[in-house]
Copies of this chain bind each other. A is one copy, B any other.
Amino acid sequence: MALVRPDIMCGVCPTKANGFNYGAYTCNACKMFFRRSHTNPAEIHECVTDGNCVQLRDCRYCRFQQCLNIGMVIPKQLKPEITEIIQNLLYLDAHRNNTFSVYVSLDNLSLEDAIFSDSMKLTEKTPSYVPDYYDWSSMDHLAAIEFMKKFEFFKFLSKAEKRSFIKTSYIHIIVLCLAMRSVGLKSQEFVYPNGVDVFPKEIQVMFQKCPSVLADVRCPLVARIHELKVTREEFVLLTAIITCNPGNEAYTVFNQEIISKYQQAYTSALVQYCLHTYQQFGPTRVNDLLSLCFLLGKAFEGFGSVWTAYMVAQNDGKVKKLHTDFLKYFLD
């Protein structure tokens, strides 16, 4: 419909602009011309007047020069290998998300089971089934572990290395996914779908006198991710960087180097993605994103402290093995 500024002229030819295209006010024709000049590999050369044409629309060379002069830019394509890395991660993440939201685990699996079973027994949720905290939490664990196991190098690790690989990072992955999902649900704090709390009833009761303890765990990371408007692409690259953590004495030197190479590749992809998307603000963006790991560590410790406090206070065996495994890890 009507432009807000209806009478701005095209910066290339003497017609009305139809909007702000590729960084300048131009008419539709000049917009299309500029776009084609980038998609068509054919070079633009030969100008009769040696670059001094007045009727810019009649000379491809001078028209293109004028486009550049008024600052038109088409953001360069990301290198295909970078897009491929991101596509693969997006695919893995979509699968993780699907596992999380569509299935439920009816068994009481241990961490060991989750790490080493080739395919976990999962049941599709019926539409009428209303998952509770334990359902969501279990699926969070299982989906994250499944996600991590999909990394190519996983199958070449020894049993001990596999165990160590998962244990080192899976809680961080869970918490980051939880935060990202919460932002998607327009929440300002960690939350499971349908408003299910990320702490079981018992813990909520235990801390009802000092709710700020739980709030301090729930809010900061989610708020920051919301504030930064972290994209799905940035999110999956972050999960990959966190997953490929080489700082672990369980690895052979060889495998440690492999994992380190992967982490470097994902970090490099994140840098290139940010430089491409945010141009001169790219480095700042990378820094902002990597700084999320600090808040992620805080949240991680927060969950750990709350659960530790709860377990110390009472241990009635109601907690699933996955959780006690997780807690053992903290108490160690």
Contact = CB atoms under 8 A, between A and B. Distances in A.
Interface of A: 4-9, 14-16, 48-49, 52, 54-55, 58, 77-78, 80, 83-84, 86-87, 90-91, 93-94, 97-98, 100-102, 127, 184, 193, 232-233
A7 B136 CA distance: 14
Contacts of A55: 78, 83, 87
Given A87-B54, A90-B14, A98 B48 contact: no
Contact of A48 (B7, B16, B77): B77
A97 B6 CA distance: 11
Contact of A83 (B54, B77, B78, B90): B54
B97 A9 contact: yes
Contacts of A87: 14, 54-55
Nearest to A181: B7
A49 B86 CA distance: 17
A265 to B, nearest CB: 16
Contact of A54 (B58, B80, B93, B101): B80
Contacts of A80: 49, 52, 54
B193 A101 contact: no
The listed residue with most B CB atoms (<10 A of its CB), out of A14, A102, A193, is A14
28 contacts: A4-B127, A5-B101, A5-B102, A6-B193, A7-B97, A7-B98, A7-B100, A8-B101, A8-B102, A9-B94, A9-B97, A14-B87, A14-B90, A14-B91, A14-B93, A14-B94, A14-B232, A14-B233, A15-B232, A48-B77, A49-B80, A54-B80, A54-B83, A54-B84, A54-B86, A54-B87, A55-B87, A58-B77
A156 to B, nearest CB: 26
Contacts of A94: 9, 14
A221 to B, nearest CB: 21
Given A77-B48, A86-B54, A7 B101 contact: yes
A15 B97 CA distance: 11
Given A4-B127, A7-B100, A48-B77, 15 more contacts: A5-B101, A6-B101, A6-B193, A7-B98, A7-B193, A9-B97, A14-B87, A14-B91, A14-B93, A14-B232, A14-B233, A49-B80, A54-B80, A55-B78, A58-B77
A78 B58 CA distance: 11
A55 B88 CA distance: 11
Nearest to A49: B80
Nearest first, the 5 A-B pairs at minimum CB distance are A7-B101, A54-B83, A14-B90, A9-B94, A54-B87
Nearest to A88: B54
A98 B9 contact: yes
B8 A98 contact: yes
A16 B101 CA distance: 12
